[in-house]
Amino acid sequence: MGSINSNHSWAAKRIHLLKKPDKKIVERRNLLAQLFVVLLLGVAYQEMISPIKSVIRVEGFSTEAVVFFGVFFLTSLRFFIGAQLHLVNESLLKMRSGVWFFDFMIIIFEMVIFIFLGGVASFDAGRLAGIDFFELLMTVYIVDIFWVILQVALGKIFSSWKRSFIPLKWALINLGALLSTALLYCSSAVYSGAGMIIFGAVNAIAFIIDIFFIDYFKII
């Protein structure tokens, strides 16, 4: 009897994940998207304050402080805008419940990485943590690229997961930023003033292309 009830419960959950959402479910998703993404990003900024403040206290507004803050701010801002608008995008909300939840979990994972990224927003903080800003930033890029690839792959495997909109250009932007950052990092160029400026410029360009030129959700 217990086995029958368990099977029935699993079947009910599976049906719920496959069905298209009603208006109340859409409203709850919007609330969850706003609450969790904003909350986690707020924690990330709180974590970023301490290492940046420590650098400014010792060195003033040095290249290190300005670039780390600028890259964190611009990258987190474009990810935040994209995440929020993606999760409330009509084409995604009309899909099966499991598709939205999959995207939600990936985005929450990215926001959690931003929390750790904020905590190592200086060279000293990275050395103490055992993992530095560049490694975590590249991790964010890799997760986002892999997420877009999964969107394509799952749509080909399961017809109910086929999307009308896949942000392929996000993956291309992040791939470019990833390769540029990896090149600077592997050559140790990021530890020089000129390397830090290039690192900052690469991420500033990624922000400009994403927000002003691609602008998937027409906010500009």
Tens digits of per-residue pLDDT, 112-151?
Answer: 999 999 999 999 999 999 999 999 999 999 999 999 999 9
Indicate the pLDDT class of residue 10, thresholds 50, 70 and 90: very low
Residue 150 lies in a domain: yes
CA distance 111 to 175: 19
In a domain, 52, yes or no: yes
Domain assignment present for 135: yes
Pairs from 97-101 (Cβ < 8 Å, separation ≥ 24) = 97/16, 97/17, 97/18, 97/19, 97/20, 97/21, 97/25, 98/17, 98/18, 98/161, 99/160, 99/161, 99/163, 100/21, 100/29, 101/17
- Looking at the domain assignment, is residue 84 inside a domain? yes
Number of domains into which the chain is organized? 1
Residue burial 25-55, b: 16+ Cβ < 10 Å; e: rest: ebeebeeebeebbeebbebbeebbeebbeeb
10, part of any domain: no
Looking at the domain assignment, is residue 125 inside a domain? yes
Range of the domain at 199: 21-214
pTM: 0.86
- For residue 13, CA distances in Å to 1, 59, 161 come to 19, 56, 17
> Residue 1 domain-assigned?
no
- DSSP-derived letter for residue 162 is -
